[in-house]
Amino acid sequence: MHKIENLEYGKYYHIFNRGINSENLFKENRNHEYFLMLYSKHIDPIAETYAWCLLKNHFHLLVRIKTLEEILQIQKENEIKKNILLHQSFGNLFNAYTKAINKGYNRHGALFERPFKRKLIDNETYLRSVIKYIHYNPVNHGFCEHPIEYPWSSYITCISEKPTKLKREKVVSLFKNVEGLKTSHNQKENFTPLEEFLNL
């Protein structure tokens, strides 16, 4: 049984979910784009993103939930005042996406498994490992030979200089520099121990 972690302010989490009955969440490119737009709307106000990957029937995220002070400061700057329920922000994301898919593809009912899975990441070694694991997910599932070939993950953003909301500098610093990140990602790895830790 997967233990459900309560999301806490200022902590890092690997967040993972899949389509109900392994149904595809993303049927075409515009679905990925719409999910990322909703993600930005619902999750950016409460969390920083360190890595992400969208596959056909599941996704992985690595986030740091902002501190209560950070969230209240953002609300103050944007003149918003509302109660903050951390897990509800993710629920709102999944519900909004489900509604759009149901409407667009003439389906009904739940799209995601519930509850969504989340695992506290409490040290830099695991943080680094989870980033690489997320970027390697498309390779592990046979979609490509190297993370750079897959368009729907944060790897390409990590090695580019384009403006991004991703916490790229922090991610790169975990691997010392961009070359270190590339070198690490050029080496295949056995992720079984990590998957056991993540309860995947």
Total count of residues recorded for the chain: 200
**64 Rama sector, left if φ>0, alpha if ψ -120 to 50, beta otherwise:** beta
The pLDDT of residue 76:
83
> Tens of pLDDT along 74-115?
878 777 766 667 888 999 999 999 999 999 999 999 999 988
Which of 65, 59, 47 is closest to 120 using CA atoms? 65
Tell me, yes or no, if the pTM score tops 0.85: yes
The pLDDT of residue 194:
87
The pLDDT of residue 82:
65
Q: Judge whether residue 68 has pLDDT over 70.
A: yes
